[in-house]
Structure 1
């Protein structure tokens, strides 16, 4: 045994040491003037380090921070009265550029960081996790990148986090589940990946959760249903999948439930209208939902928007939706609703009570029977009525003319007869007779047209069978016309009919007399090296595709001219509004331009065409030469992608381009071709996405990528990225800057406020898509389907606000 005495001595020693430390602790708590001075100095040094990291300060905001005034009086700095410690840093909308200094973590009394609407870049420093008093963390609309720091989970007093409209990547930190006081979380319009953390269900005070327009995947965790105070749940335009958890429908405080453009499945529960009685916006479009539309929706008296378009809903539309007196948008298109019977329209009588209805979308469904006269009793506020691609019979009721504010009526692809509308008061009967006569002539011309085409094809087949040709496979599925007919259609290839010159030939305006149809004839310059291969590539591509946003090939010609030389031409639909090039770069004196929505629609059209080529064709196709001159606009300004002269077919097994059906060595135009093509890279979908990104930036900035200002490493992408960080209005096309000019006291507002907030926000989102698509590394570029969905979401946001 050890002696007892040493043990007692040891315990006494420890006890005495404890008393000494306790006494020193008490002394340290006494107020000492020098201590306060040191901590104040720490705040000042942290602010100076913040200033030091700022690389762009156009308004001289932090430039005014100097020793002539106390740091608590500096612009954007707020201090507490008692201890003179920095409690708030508010520098919103000051166009500051550069990274956020990690020394910001030394402002230990900081409660608010408000740096929204600037051009801050770099990563969010992990040091913000030291700010245990932080309540507001607002960094909306900057160019911050990298991952969201997990250390934010240490800031347990946080009430609002707004990191939206940046370039943040990586997952949503699971550590956010520790922020039990968080009420609002905004992460939309970034490039976040991964899933929704189950830990989010722990944030019991959360009211607003918005992560729309990202690249999130996986299922919606059922733990979200634990958020009993949740009012806004926005997760649209991601890649989320799986069944929507029923726990989501038990959150009685929900007012906005927005999940469009994902891959979510499942049914709407019958009781949705009972549990979600406060709902105002139900946005489920572009998913994989099925089942029937619950009648209980009619119980939600404040419902303003129902968007269920682009799903697999079936059955009848509830006949009690007229109870929704606040309803303004009802989107049910692209489903399987209806039974091809007259009863499909029973719900229409109920909708008469919806006096605020502005949009009714029923296209691409199974509605049958006659369009009832009750359509004329719908809300006089109705501006868009979409009934196309159903099975509607009979005539269009004259009562439809009662819809005085109707701007868009789409009845295409039905079995409707003539328009039984009221005749005009003067000369009405003559016009009707003339109209009937024209219809008869058109029918006769169509019959003759098809007869002539059939005859031409028969003659061609007979001639072709008598001689071998290496190009026959390229014309399979394309009817052909003679060289003589091409000459007749174009006035002998008259210069007066020349409407454009491309890489491998010239395009003429022509008219086929038999049907009086105006066409565009592309005549190949066979003296140009690669022209024949270009012709083969275009034929191979065009005979495989059919999409509303791709130019339609009508026929072709492969023959010899009167001098015995080979002659090849393609005949397309004629686009009366020409190419996109002339609309975004009009010549002096030309008085036409595109507004924001028209440019956005064109962008969506082009993205949809590429998505079809890349994802929906039996054999994927890479266009290889996307640029404004190869985008044509029809009479309604709908965009059609053209010129497949460089197009390449991709093997469905390994996605490698097939050189035998392509133009070897040529992969696009200068300024639009992906950088990897310059070092011998294979044609790829990612290359098309790059071209689309550049095109998107050009559409909204009005700057060509080939302008003299761009040289070496400074290109359109870097110009937008840098200029966007300085000021949005300096980047966009000046024509767009004239939209939404406000007038105050008879005078136009300043340049800063010419654009409405809504348009500014949407343009910023579009440019962010363009920047992501045109990144130098192919692996970092956005997939075309994601770009399409983002642009569609931006359009929805613009129209709804």
Structure 2
């Protein structure tokens, strides 16, 4: 069969040069266009297998021909077929095409301009693909378009004004794209429009008054943008509206009190997360079709109207408002028999007694949140009627009395939060009937007595907080042995006694354990070393004795450790200096001996050692006495000195002889072979692996195990013969000039350094392969979550990866800062990394960051930067991250790393590469960020950060502004204007502390 491209080329040539227009309109055009469509995409599911010349194309899968013109294609429908690739521009030659549906595939590239030729086209459905570029302006040349859906792509730029000329358009969807600019007023010309969806497009400006002309509109969806100004009052006169959605903007003003009368068909009214004010319209209660009413996070003052007529209401959200009213409005909701969610969170002026009628709410209710109000009184035992509840949050109110034992009948509960009230008495044993509980929060109350052993039945618990109560007695081993608890176990500020149960070791996945401020005695159980997931451990304020158990060295993820105010003794273990700890408090114990100087012990702001009178040494800032060299008397000291001096002299002579011998052998070796060996750089502390070992571990360096490649080589995933040790094998391509030099540079840089945030070199291999060729490789500890670059940018190819939270990004930034601080200040000679970028930062299964790839690293002295030769592969690094001074000088300094780090920091939080071509007039990422810091940072930060928390955009904004400001200072043009990595670490910690403090307050 002839090549489709050849057929296509010949046909186009004949069409435009040799043939008449009638020829170009033949069904041959459709055949060639379809074959071109198939040829440009990858079809892993075989959806287009029938697209061949053995069958007439009208019978091909997803192709439909017309009735009047049975040999011409009128529709293409290929939804959810796994198609990957660009859309062929020859689609524009199918002049009879009326409908093209490609939703839920992976088409990429730009939407071809040629689609504007299809004047018969009525329907375009391209949602949930990866199209890029701008929305084609010449879509306006398709005058018969009725339906246009480009939702959930990667389109950018403004909405074309020309779209407003598509007068027949009834449905328009551009949501979930990276658009910019305002909503064009020309959309008000689309008077046939019944659906307008522009959600999550980064649109700015005001809602155009012209949209009030859309009298047929049933769905107006403008949420999650940056729209400002007021809502045009004319929109509230469009009586056909069923969905009115403008949440997550910056809109102001009030809602007219006529909403209920003018919206008889209204189903969804969502105006939350704006700055709307005034009273809640009373006529909302007349919108009898209303299903969702969302007023969250505004400035509404109330009162809350009686909503009992809304029999279809399923969700009511009025959180975060200064509504001054009585909670008894809830009584009117008992007629809302379809109510499923009720959220009255954070209304500090809402008061009254806890309504008994709450037990009469809909049997369908599964989510009840009534927290941070002035509501008082007791929980009625009749609450047991709400059998469908899966979440009950009543925290931070003024509730009191015991928890009703009948509450244990709420067996469907998955989250129960009663914290921050004045509940008292013992916990009812019936709580153990809530076997589906994932989250149980009872902190900050007046509960007393022993914990009920029935809690051991809650085998699905992930997070348990009983802190700040008056619980006493022993902790039932069965409770601390609930292996499901993996987020946090907080029993602090109670009166528990006895020893910490050894069953605590069952919590192998636990992240945070707080047993502080109790009366625990005896020693810290060694079984705690089995809690391998621990990041935070607080045992302060108890009566614990003995030494710090050596098993704590197994807790490699530990970042905070507080053992203060106990009776612990012994020396400070050296392994604490090797962990990735960020905070350590050992104050007011009986520790003795020398304080380490490395790791976090080199940062006096990260440690507290007060009240340990027998400690000595450490860094000068601790002001501890020097450690005595010996403890004998002066007489013995003098005698010992008489013995040691001759021995030392003899030893010195012997050492000098050995040094000379080594130098002679070294020169002979150098004369014999001019190429240095890796042995001379890394020593013998690494396990040696042969070429055969690595060949077997990587399955013959198979492509399936290839995880990355670069200029000087490739990286493979492997597993050693023990079947457990995962490794990453960096194989050098020695044919490439400079590859061997990078190999030696990396060995040299990693020779003596060890840090929790530096990629650990497990082994090296300097050998020959089975074909007799030289073979060099570096073997590293494998990191399960791959590179930071993957998490920032590969969200299309690898679903779900681009979901880094703000705090995860900040933790990664701090990890990298720690690594650079160590390289610059933690060794005798400063080390310059030279190529800091997202692809050189790896993340383990706990999302801890590790800096790798030291192929361009240089060791410099404390006083002078390194000098690069003009022929060196040098420290040039990667475009976009290279310090400006490297372009005019061969000097290498730690300040070059600081510049790269600054760029990286901006990149992490804006999700834009420094080489992004969208900066335009700003020229650089720094210029782009600088403008945004003064005009509005929400415009440039990764939108996933913006929507991470749905309650406090200001908190996120303040945090990101502080972070980006550090990135700007680090990436100043002049090295002298940049701060050091020590300052970066300190400032980022302050930002994190402020951010977390707002969560706790």
Which range, TM-score by smaller chain? 0.5 to 0.7
Within 1, Cα distance between the matches of 2:407 and 2:158? Answer: 63
Pick the aligned partner of 2:160 from 152, 155, 173: 173
* 3-state SS in 2 of match to 1:109: coil
Could you say which residue in structure 2 is the equivalent of 1:470?
Answer: none
Could you say which residue in structure 2 is the equivalent of 1:237?
Answer: 224
Pick the aligned partner of 2:236 from 249, 255, 262: 249
Within 1, Cα distance between the matches of 2:309 and 2:330? Answer: 12
Q: In the TM superposition, what is the alpha-carbon distance from 1:154 to its structure 2 partner? A: 1.1
The within-5 A match list for 1:262-277 is 262-277=249-264
* 3-state SS in 1 of match to 2:616: coil
Q: In the TM superposition, what is the alpha-carbon distance from 1:566 to its structure 2 partner? A: 2.9
- Asked if 1:566 is matched to 2:618, the reply is yes
- Asked if 1:329 is matched to 2:315, the reply is yes
Q: In the TM superposition, what is the alpha-carbon distance from 1:418 to its structure 2 partner? A: 2.4
Equivalenced residue count is: 551
Q: In the TM superposition, what is the alpha-carbon distance from 1:306 to its structure 2 partner? A: 0.5
Within 1, Cα distance between the matches of 2:800 and 2:323? Answer: 27
- Asked if 2 retains the 8 angstrom alpha-carbon contact of 1:278 and 1:300, the reply is yes
Could you say which residue in structure 2 is the equivalent of 1:787?
Answer: 944
- Asked if 2 retains the 8 angstrom alpha-carbon contact of 1:265 and 1:289, the reply is yes
The within-5 A match list for 1:387-786 is 387-419=370-402, 421-422=404-405, 436-437=448-449, 440=470, 491-498=546-553, 500-501=555-556, 522-523=583-584, 531=600, 536=605, 556-557=608-609, 562-566=614-618, 607=805, 609=807, 623-625=811-813, 670-671=841-842, 680=897, 681=899, 683-684=901-902, 687=905, 690=908, 783-784=940-941, 786=943
- Asked if 2 retains the 8 angstrom alpha-carbon contact of 1:491 and 1:497, the reply is no
Could you say which residue in structure 2 is the equivalent of 1:372?
Answer: 355
Q: Which moved more, 1:283-292 or 1:70-79?
A: 70-79
- Asked if 2 retains the 8 angstrom alpha-carbon contact of 1:259 and 1:285, the reply is yes
Q: In the TM superposition, what is the alpha-carbon distance from 1:62 to its structure 2 partner? A: 3.8
- Asked if 1 retains the 8 angstrom alpha-carbon contact of 2:331 and 2:355, the reply is no
- Asked if 2 retains the 8 angstrom alpha-carbon contact of 1:499 and 1:507, the reply is no
Within 2, Cα distance between the matches of 1:159 and 1:309? Answer: 35
Q: In the TM superposition, what is the alpha-carbon distance from 1:286 to its structure 2 partner? A: 1.1
1:670–1:500 distance in 2 versus 1, CA, 3 Å: farther
Within 2, Cα distance between the matches of 1:308 and 1:484? Answer: 43
- Asked if 2 retains the 8 angstrom alpha-carbon contact of 1:80 and 1:87, the reply is yes
Give unpaired runs (5+ residues) of structure 1: 1-31, 450-482, 515-519, 540-555, 570-583, 587-599, 612-621, 628-642, 649-662, 695-712, 714-774, 794-801
Q: In the TM superposition, what is the alpha-carbon distance from 1:177 to its structure 2 partner? A: 0.7
Larger gyration radius, structure 1 or structure 2 = 2
Could you say which residue in structure 1 is the equivalent of 2:107?
Answer: 120
Within 1, Cα distance between the matches of 2:86 and 2:427? Answer: 70
Could you say which residue in structure 2 is the equivalent of 1:356?
Answer: 338
Q: In the TM superposition, what is the alpha-carbon distance from 1:228 to its structure 2 partner? A: 0.8
Q: In the TM superposition, what is the alpha-carbon distance from 1:91 to its structure 2 partner? A: 2.1
* 3-state SS in 2 of match to 1:45: helix
Within 1, Cα distance between the matches of 2:256 and 2:940? Answer: 33
- Asked if 1:79 is matched to 2:65, the reply is yes
Within 1, Cα distance between the matches of 2:811 and 2:132? Answer: 31
* 3-state SS in 1 of match to 2:178: coil
Within 2, Cα distance between the matches of 1:75 and 1:671? Answer: 44
1:186–1:490 distance in 2 versus 1, CA, 3 Å: farther
- Asked if 2 retains the 8 angstrom alpha-carbon contact of 1:498 and 1:506, the reply is no
1:686–1:239 distance in 2 versus 1, CA, 3 Å: farther
Within 2, Cα distance between the matches of 1:602 and 1:45? Answer: 39
Q: Which moved more, 1:261-270 or 1:403-412?
A: 403-412
Q: In the TM superposition, what is the alpha-carbon distance from 1:603 to its structure 2 partner? A: 9.8
1:128–1:419 distance in 2 versus 1, CA, 3 Å: same
- Asked if 1 retains the 8 angstrom alpha-carbon contact of 2:161 and 2:186, the reply is yes
- Asked if 2 retains the 8 angstrom alpha-carbon contact of 1:135 and 1:157, the reply is yes
Within 2, Cα distance between the matches of 1:215 and 1:424? Answer: 45
Within 1, Cα distance between the matches of 2:559 and 2:304? Answer: 52
Could you say which residue in structure 1 is the equivalent of 2:788?
Answer: none
Could you say which residue in structure 1 is the equivalent of 2:246?
Answer: 259
1:610-657: per-residue Cα shift (whole Å, max 9, x none)?
Answer: 79xxxxxxxxxx655378xxxxxxxxxxxxxxx996899xxxxxxxxx
Within 1, Cα distance between the matches of 2:102 and 2:72? Answer: 19
1:132-151: per-residue Cα shift (whole Å, max 9, x none)?
Answer: 10001111111111101000
Q: In the TM superposition, what is the alpha-carbon distance from 1:430 to its structure 2 partner? A: 8.3
Q: In the TM superposition, what is the alpha-carbon distance from 1:169 to its structure 2 partner? A: 0.8
* 3-state SS in 2 of match to 1:385: strand
1:552-572: per-residue Cα shift (whole Å, max 9, x none)?
Answer: xxxx44676845133999xxx
1:353-398: per-residue Cα shift (whole Å, max 9, x none)?
Answer: 1111111111111112321222222222222221211122333333
- Asked if 1 retains the 8 angstrom alpha-carbon contact of 2:236 and 2:259, the reply is yes
Q: In the TM superposition, what is the alpha-carbon distance from 1:178 to its structure 2 partner? A: 0.8
Alpha carbon RMSD of aligned pairs, Å?
4.7
Give unpaired runs (5+ residues) of structure 2: 1-18, 409-423, 430-445, 451-468, 474-491, 497-537, 568-580, 586-593, 623-782, 786-798, 822-829, 844-848, 852-877, 884-896, 914-924, 933-937, 951-1001
1:159–1:601 distance in 2 versus 1, CA, 3 Å: closer
Within 2, Cα distance between the matches of 1:349 and 1:424? Answer: 20
Within 2, Cα distance between the matches of 1:414 and 1:157? Answer: 59
Could you say which residue in structure 2 is the equivalent of 1:109?
Answer: 96
Which structure has more helix as a fraction of its residues?
1
- Asked if 1:41 is matched to 2:28, the reply is yes
Query: What TM-score do you get using the length of structure 1 for normalisation?
Result: 0.60
Pick the aligned partner of 1:57 from 28, 35, 43: 43
1:607–1:64 distance in 2 versus 1, CA, 3 Å: same
1:570-608: per-residue Cα shift (whole Å, max 9, x none)?
Answer: xxxxxxxxxxxxxx989xxxxxxxxxxxxx99999x736
Could you say which residue in structure 2 is the equivalent of 1:770?
Answer: none
Within 2, Cα distance between the matches of 1:107 and 1:251? Answer: 39
- Asked if 2 retains the 8 angstrom alpha-carbon contact of 1:498 and 1:509, the reply is no
Could you say which residue in structure 2 is the equivalent of 1:69?
Answer: 55
Could you say which residue in structure 2 is the equivalent of 1:137?
Answer: 124
- Asked if 1 retains the 8 angstrom alpha-carbon contact of 2:381 and 2:406, the reply is no
- Asked if 1 retains the 8 angstrom alpha-carbon contact of 2:540 and 2:563, the reply is no
- Asked if 1 retains the 8 angstrom alpha-carbon contact of 2:218 and 2:240, the reply is yes
1:289–1:491 distance in 2 versus 1, CA, 3 Å: farther
* 3-state SS in 2 of match to 1:51: helix
- Asked if 2 retains the 8 angstrom alpha-carbon contact of 1:491 and 1:510, the reply is no
1:401–1:532 distance in 2 versus 1, CA, 3 Å: same
Within 1, Cα distance between the matches of 2:382 and 2:307? Answer: 22
- Asked if 2 retains the 8 angstrom alpha-carbon contact of 1:397 and 1:419, the reply is no
Could you say which residue in structure 2 is the equivalent of 1:720?
Answer: none
Q: Which moved more, 1:376-385 or 1:396-405?
A: 396-405
1:514-558: per-residue Cα shift (whole Å, max 9, x none)?
Answer: 9xxxxx99449986766356664x69xxxxxxxxxxxxxxxx446
